[in-house]
Amino acid sequence: MSNGANGFHKEMEKLHVNGDANGRPSSSEGESDKKKKMNRKNSSPMMPAFMVSAPGKVIVFGEHAVVYGKAAIAASISLRSYLLVTHLSKSKRTVTMQFPDIDLIHTWNIDELPWKIFQSPTKKKYYYDLVTTLDDELLQAIQPHLADISPGKSEAERKVHRNSAASFLYLFLSLGSPKSPGCRYTLRSTIPIGAGVGSSASIAVCLAAAMLLQIRTLSGPHPDQPPDEARVQMERINRWAFVAEMCIHGNPSGVDNTVATHGKAVVYQRTDYKKPPTVTPLWDFPELPLLLVDTKVPKSTAIEVAKVAALKNTHQELVGSILDAVDTITRSAESLIEEEYFDNEDLESLRRVGELMTINHGLLSALGVSHPRLERVRELVDHAGIGWTKLTGAGGGGCSISLIKPDVSKEKLDKLERQLENEGYQKFRTTLGGDGVGVLWPAVLKNGLDEDEEGGMEIDLEKFLNAPGNDGVEKLVGVSGGLGGAEREGWKFWRVESQ
């Protein structure tokens, strides 16, 4: 395992020696002055601003059956969270988290945080540790630092803000130290919040990756990185993202943060709730065209799970056979996608996946977890002949996903989207099975424009905060915001292929 001896940090060291904190050579220096400075003991200049991004997720197959020990497939979507980390001068001993999408901003004095208990020998955790439970004493030590968050908000909003802040502080205090530099963490997300598509896990992965990068405990990402080394880095991020998820959800499955970290897709199964689940990455999962539709109907996972449990108690054998059939669909989809001749641009290949989605939805509907708003989306998509639709997640509202046929005209898709908007739905054209966590270091992008000759466009805090809506964020910093939707130069990912 490398500890900072990689391309990311080598470049940072070169930047510190050869220029100012933003990598620019000083025009006022003479050669002799430069040589003198080269021979001096290095100071610790500010790390330049950088960004981390991670995707949301959808469950593609296996909802509800997964509660009864069956397999489910979850995959990343190209809607993402973007975290900008900016560093303050040495004299500023504060840390700020700012999530404008939920109207949250709060600043703490670093020196006043409960470092003593987090650094004590019996409590201290290291970047390589596996943390599977939260420490109640550490959680209690954080509580006084959450008391004055968002005082003017409603109690419901304050609860969300306090949970977010607790997750942030637990990671910051676990991975940082009393000497941590002052900095600001600013997050924008294009993932719908509270819709069951992994928004909190995406944020957790961004925070974990950023803090691990700051303490120089990640290697890469870079194109020539060996797959085994890339897996180690992703697992390190994933472990700490799970800690952040525990702060918010209590007992999360771990599937959301795993997908947000690794990207692509995973097969998830938990046959014994006294033991950890089995999560198997599908490294070669193809990118597939998807339409995600938010019904805007609030969902309750607990209510829908209880509904299926009640039905199973009444019709045990019948419901058991439905759950077995859902499991068969999941395993069939896994086998199909891993076939050597599967082509994500071929209509026949997509048809076979789409039909499995349609059958899966029908079985979920038979379990009583659909909703008229979800069925309306299916009706519109089927009538237009655009693709195959199913609910994703617990059902009873929430979101649907539609696999789009490769030969659908733009006009037909635009017409469908207008109709969905007119009926109060929120729709997102996205891609299934894309990259996981990525890094933009420093926070400079190349867009194929004249500014690239001068090093590219620097992403500063003001630009980031003022980017209008999802489209503005994607246009400014999106990993696929380049010309023609191409992947932008600058973003780098830990990528692994099994073949």
379 versus 481: which is more confidently predicted? 379
Is a pLDDT exceeding 80 seen at residue 30?
A: no
pLDDT-derived band at 498 (thresholds 50, 70, 90) equals low
Give the pLDDT band of residue 36 (cuts 50, 70, 90): very low
> Which pLDDT does position 11 carry in this prediction?
41
Question: What are the structure tokens assigned to 197, written together?
Answer: 């598509």
- Name residue 491's amino acid: W
Summarised one tens digit per residue, pLDDT across range 167-206 is 999 999 999 999 999 999 999 999 988 888 999 999 999 9
- Known catalytic residues are 256
CA 300 to chain centre: 22
Long-range contacts of 354-357 (CB under 8 A, 24+ apart): 354/387, 354/388, 354/403, 354/405, 355/388, 356/61, 356/329, 356/332, 357/60, 357/61, 357/388, 357/389, 357/390, 357/401, 357/403
Query: Does residue 38 register a pLDDT over 60?
Result: no
Report the 10 Å Cβ neighbour count for 63. Answer: 30
- Mean pLDDT, the chain, rounded, equals 87
**What pTM was estimated for this model as a whole?**
0.85
* pLDDT at residue 270 in the model: 86
pLDDT band for position 5 (50/70/90)? very low
How far the first Cα of the chain sits from its last, in Å, is 23
Query: Is the pLDDT reported for residue 34 higher than 60?
Result: no
Cis omega before residue 221 (within 30°)? yes
Q: How confident is the model at residue 22 (pLDDT cuts 50, 70, 90)?
A: very low
**pLDDT exceeds cutoff 90 at 445:** no
Regarding predicted confidence, which is higher, 82 or 486? 82
The predicted structure's pLDDT at residue 35:
46
Determine the average pLDDT of the residues in 465-473. Answer: 91
Rg (CA), the chain: 24
Cα 19 → chain centroid: 33
Q: Model confidence at 2, in pLDDT bands (50, 70, 90)?
A: very low
**Closest to 11 (Cα-Cα) out of 213, 237, 262:** 213
Asked if 247 and 167 touch (Cβ cutoff 8 Å), the reply is: yes
Compute the distance between CA of residue 56 and CA of residue 82 in angstroms, rounded to an integer.
Answer: 11
pLDDT class of 278 with cuts at 50, 70, 90: confident
What are the pLDDT digits (tens) for 289-331?
Answer: 999 999 999 888 889 999 999 999 999 999 999 999 999 999 9
* Structure confidence by residue, pLDDT tens digits, 325-378: 999 999 999 999 999 899 999 999 999 999 999 999 999 999 999 999 999 999
Q: Which residue has the higher pLDDT, 134 or 487?
A: 134
Binned at pLDDT 50, 70 and 90, residue 456 comes out as confident
Confidence band, pLDDT 50/70/90 cuts, at residue 137: very high
